[in-house]
């Protein structure tokens, strides 16, 4: 549980519904500058929540989201009444994002964080050819596919699930390595990895079969290699209602139609 918050800051996605809700809540509870608040109340959808989590990484601020978007898997239900009491009773979840180090064909290096997943996707009409190494040891000498991703437990119900990857419990020390439309090896459907490993992906025939790398909303075009590892020095902190916790949501997702 969280101590009763002394100050709240309301931040909203740039949509009519989210902005109107923000004004309504400010009239009732007031508003503190984000940098001075105990808790940031994020109003929007999952994309906006990811944005806020990235912006507040390693800060002392807690994020409490309320759904003013579409799916809202990362958000709590939107209700106006008794908000301080809800926040005080909320459960805190802290987690480490992934760090992507992408080497581009022009020699530049890009480092980006991913809360959901790091994905490699073909850039042209031709399938990608990838070489996959785990902690420096080759595991796949040639994977022909549309793409490949490494997903966290938080992101396992997002793009990873749509690519038929496994759903991971939030507290599982695991990562999902999931291919997108694999052509060869035909029967390879991915792997479960310890969250302590380093995943290296080398792009074969990079000029003929260009590949883009994406860490959440950061995209790098025409990469030649990508290193993916957990960023243990970074932490995001999010609050969930006890009756709608992330663990419960992930468990329920496994029994949904």
What is the fold, at CATH topology level, of the domain defined by 8-95+235-253? Rossmann fold (3.40.50)
Q: Is 154 annotated as a binding residue?
A: yes
Domain boundaries, the chain: 8-95+235-253, 98-230
Residue 221 has pLDDT above 70, yes or no: yes
Residue 20 has pLDDT above 90, yes or no: yes
Q: Is 191 annotated as a binding residue?
A: no
Q: What value does the mean pLDDT take over residues 108-137? A: 97
pLDDT of residue 5: 65
Residue 244 has pLDDT above 60, yes or no: yes
pLDDT confidence of 32, banded at 50, 70, 90?
Answer: very high
Measured distance CA(236)–CA(256) in Å, rounded: 28
| Strand order across the 223-230 sheet | 109-114, 98-104, 223-230, 199-204, 128-134, 137-145
What pTM does this model have?
0.87
Q: Which CATH architecture has domain 98-230?
A: Sandwich (2.60)
Residue 30 has pLDDT above 90, yes or no: yes
Q: How far apart are the first and last CA of the chain?
A: 32
Q: Is 158 annotated as a binding residue?
A: yes
Residue 174 has pLDDT above 60, yes or no: yes
Q: Is 23 annotated as a binding residue?
A: no
> How do residues 146-167 score in pLDDT, each as one tens digit?
999 999 998 998 899 999 999 9
* Active site members: 46
Residue 245 has pLDDT above 90, yes or no: no
pLDDT of residue 251: 72
Q: What value does the mean pLDDT take over residues 168-184? A: 93
Residue 235 has pLDDT above 60, yes or no: yes
Residue 248 has pLDDT above 80, yes or no: no
Question: Which whole-number Å values give the CA distances from 108 to 130, 220, 223, 224, 238, in the listed order?
Answer: 20, 10, 9, 10, 33
Average pLDDT for the chain: 92
With a CB cutoff of 8 Å and minimum separation 6, the contacts of 10 are 22, 25, 26, 29, 31, 40, 41, 43
Q: Is 38 annotated as a binding residue?
A: no
Q: Is the fold of 8-95+235-253 the same as that of 98-230?
A: no
């Amino acid at each position: 549980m969280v101590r009763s918050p002394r100050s709240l800051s309301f931040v909203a996605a740039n949509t009519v519904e989210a902005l109107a809700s923000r004004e309504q809540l400010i009239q009732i509870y007031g508003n503190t500058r984000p940098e001075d608040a105990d808790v940031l109340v994020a109003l929007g959808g999952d994309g906006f929540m990811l944005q806020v989590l990235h912006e507040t990484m390693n800060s002392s601020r807690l994020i409490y989201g309320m759904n003013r978007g579409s799916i809202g898997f990362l958000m709590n239900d939107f209700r106006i009444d008794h908000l301080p009491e809800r926040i005080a009773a909320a459960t805190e979840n802290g987690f480490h994002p992934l760090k992507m180090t992408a080497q581009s064909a022009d020699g530049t290096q890009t480092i980006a964080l991913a809360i959901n997943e790091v994905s490699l996707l073909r850039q042209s009409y031709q399938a990608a050819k990838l070489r996959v190494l785990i902690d420096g040891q080759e595991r796949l000498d040639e994977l022909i596919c549309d793409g490949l991703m490494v997903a966290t437990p938080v992101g396992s119900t997002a793009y990873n699930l749509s690519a038929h990857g496994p759903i991971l419990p939030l507290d599982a020390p695991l990562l999902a390595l999931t291919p997108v439309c694999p052509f060869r090896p035909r029967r390879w459907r991915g792997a479960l990895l310890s969250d302590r490993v380093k995943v290296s992906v080398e792009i074969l025939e990079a000029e003929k079969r260009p590949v883009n790398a994406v860490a959440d909303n950061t995209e790098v075009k025409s990469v030649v290699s990508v290193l993916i590892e957990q960023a243990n020095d970074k932490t995001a902190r999010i609050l969930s209602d006890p009756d709608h916790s992330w663990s419960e949501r992930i468990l329920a997702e496994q029994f949904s139609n």
